[in-house]
Amino acid sequence: MPDDHGRFALTQFAERLNWLYARDQAWTERVVIASIDREGEERDAALAGFFSNPKVSGELFLRLKPTLIRLATPEERPRRRSEAVLSDLFITAWHAKNHEGMRYLGDEELTKVVVHGSDAMRTQMFRHVGSWEIAEKLILLRDVWPLHLAARSAAVSSRLVALAFDDEENFPAVADAVIPLLSPIENRGQFMLSVAQDKQQRIIARFPRKVL
């Protein structure tokens, strides 16, 4: 279909990319994913559809991963809504593992995204981390999250502190992991914790030295 009609159809297909890829991989590669790999208006149309319904299997994520990582760079950074989708995809792919125990997004790849992505992308990732098991939290914070200055903004520091206060039982371990990643927070408004006041008081009473 020509011009806008074709791009509209492409948007509709890309909105159902995961379903199509599972049923006819070759056709989906040729018609939809090839457009995502190229520059131009067709790519924009396909990405608009994909970002409106960003469901991907592990196999499809691996196929799209190089393009998605490029989208996180300053040169190709998308609009704020798409940044949130990319953040969710990246942190979920790092946390998920295949049947061989390998992560769909490697440590170095996640570090690259964190350094080169926007502050909004970095803070969005922590919306997922709070619900993780403690071992995975500590691996992310100790071994993967970069010490790079770009990842040490006041907003990120505030999220890291909140992550520690949100996990009362593991507060000492999480606090030790986040302290090397923090920078000074000068605006008190950025340091408002969403943790309940009684929970904060319990943590202060149990771990006063760590809180200090």
The domain ranges of the chain are: 1-55, 56-211
Mean pLDDT score, 25-39: 92
- Cβ burial of 181 (10 Å; 0-12, 13-18, 19+) is middle
pLDDT at 76: 65
Mean pLDDT of the chain: 90
Mean pLDDT score, 8-16: 96
HEC profile of 159-196: HHHHHHHHCCCCHHHHHHHHHHHCCCCCCHHHHCCCCC
87-120 b/e (C-beta count within 10 Å ≥ 16 → b): bbbbbebbbeeeeeeeebbeeebbbbbbebbbee
Amino acid sitting at position 136: E
For 149-183, the pLDDT digits (tens) are 888 888 899 899 999 999 999 999 999 999 999 98
* Residues above pLDDT 70, as percent of the chain: 92
For 102-142, the pLDDT digits (tens) are 999 999 999 999 999 889 999 999 999 999 999 999 999 99
pLDDT at 186: 74
Whose CA is closest to 50, among 76, 91, 92, 20? 20
